[in-house]
Amino acid sequence: MSVSQKVQKMPATNTNTRGLTAEVKKILSFYESDNPGTKANLSRILMTGKLAGTGKMVILPVDQGFEHGPARSFGVNPAAYDPHYHYQMAIDSGCNAYAAPLGALEAGADTFAGAIPLILKINSSNSLIQAKDQSVNASIKDALRLGCSAIGFTIYPGSEYMLEQQEEIRALSEEAKSYGIATVMWSYVRGPKISKEGETAIDMIAYGAHMAAQLGAHIIKVKLSTDHLELPEAKKVYEEQKIAIGTQAERVAHVMQSSFAGRRLVVFSGGATKDQEGVYDDARAIYEGGGNGSIIGRNCFQRPRDEAMAMLDKIMDIYLGKDV
């Protein structure tokens, strides 16, 4: 049975319709300046899928083809060349949302209309250039046309292009919010004065999350961190104040603290493909540290579908407190 045939058998939406839970109402209360449209789109993401109403999220992002090239991204699992494959996986697994660039969303927009909240990844980098920058490849009108709940935008704190990126997302986010569309920010620290080790240092990850919150993000995506401290002046404070960063769960808690004391939703990226136990350990640390969940791409779609579905199911069980 083809993907298109399968979708005819699914319900029109997998959104929970029982009304907002107390947890989701509390989260929405943190977004004090937002209009009802934006809050409705945030609630749609939070009330969809297996984790509906819990305040936890698992989002499937598939922008790696643009970023790294098609063969590097999908060659290991050829079914994943088809954009419908990713839509269907996000729906069938009970993800909260599906994020992708313009072309991939357009390729399934009619078949999957209303089936899952969409996040339009509005800017992208690629492997053909060395610059730590991203081009803006879609518009807020595209997000409206496709029925997206949010736009996604990557910033590179520390990059020589950072100030331009800040100005780009300020304008795009302002327009999106005026139409009731939420903003998700990928915040990846990198640049000429930051070491490779520093890109995942806890002080840098926390700083990147805080910058995204200050730039108006509703949902922040960052990498999981190490206990390395990159900036000498920050290292002094961490040591003097005895900020707990010894375990991954403690570092997650500190990133949440840096995101307006948990008043902003933060999801953590899965990163490069790793063994299943490593993925589950990451999810347990996010859960224990009070993070809002995972945004996990390559660790899903580069595996056979049945294996990826089972892994997503277990991750969601961890966020439900069933497997910690």
- Report phi then psi at 276, rounded to 5: -60, -40
Q: Each residue of 158-216: pLDDT tens digit?
A: 999 999 999 999 999 999 999 999 999 999 999 999 999 999 999 999 999 999 999 99
Long-range contacts of 169-176 (CB under 8 A, 24+ apart): 169/215, 169/216, 170/215, 170/216, 172/122, 172/136, 172/140, 173/215, 173/216, 173/217, 175/140, 176/140, 176/143, 176/150, 176/151
Q: Each residue of 26-85: pLDDT tens digit?
A: 999 999 999 999 999 999 999 999 999 999 999 999 988 788 789 999 999 999 999 999
Catalytic residue among 98, 221, 223, 287: 221
Question: Parallel, antiparallel, or unpaired for β 135-136 and 123-124?
Answer: antiparallel
- pLDDT at residue 8, rounded to an integer: 42
Determine whether 81 is an active site residue: no
pLDDT at position 17 over 60: no
pLDDT at position 2 over 70: no
Q: Tokens 């493909």: give the residue.
A: 273
Sign of CA dihedral 185, 191, 196, 197: negative
Determine whether 280 is an active site residue: no
- pLDDT at residue 125, rounded to an integer: 81
pTM equals: 0.92
- pLDDT at residue 273, rounded to an integer: 62
Q: Each residue of 89-108: pLDDT tens digit?
A: 999 999 999 999 999 999 99
More confident residue, 4 or 32: 32
- pLDDT at residue 54, rounded to an integer: 98
Q: Each residue of 302-322: pLDDT tens digit?
A: 999 999 999 999 999 999 999
If phi > 0 it is left, if psi is from -120 to 50 it is alpha, else beta; for residue 108 that is alpha
CA distance 38 to 45: 11
Catalytic residue among 87, 98, 156, 188: 188
Q: Is 168:123 a contact under the CB 8 Å cutoff? A: yes
Query: What domains can you pick out in the chain, each with its CATH number?
Result: 18-319 (3.20.20.70)
- Percentage of the chain beyond pLDDT 70 is 93
- pLDDT at residue 211, rounded to an integer: 98
Cβ neighbors of 120 (< 8 A, separation 6 or more) are 99, 100, 101, 102, 105, 138, 142, 143, 146, 148, 150, 151, 152
- pLDDT at residue 81, rounded to an integer: 95
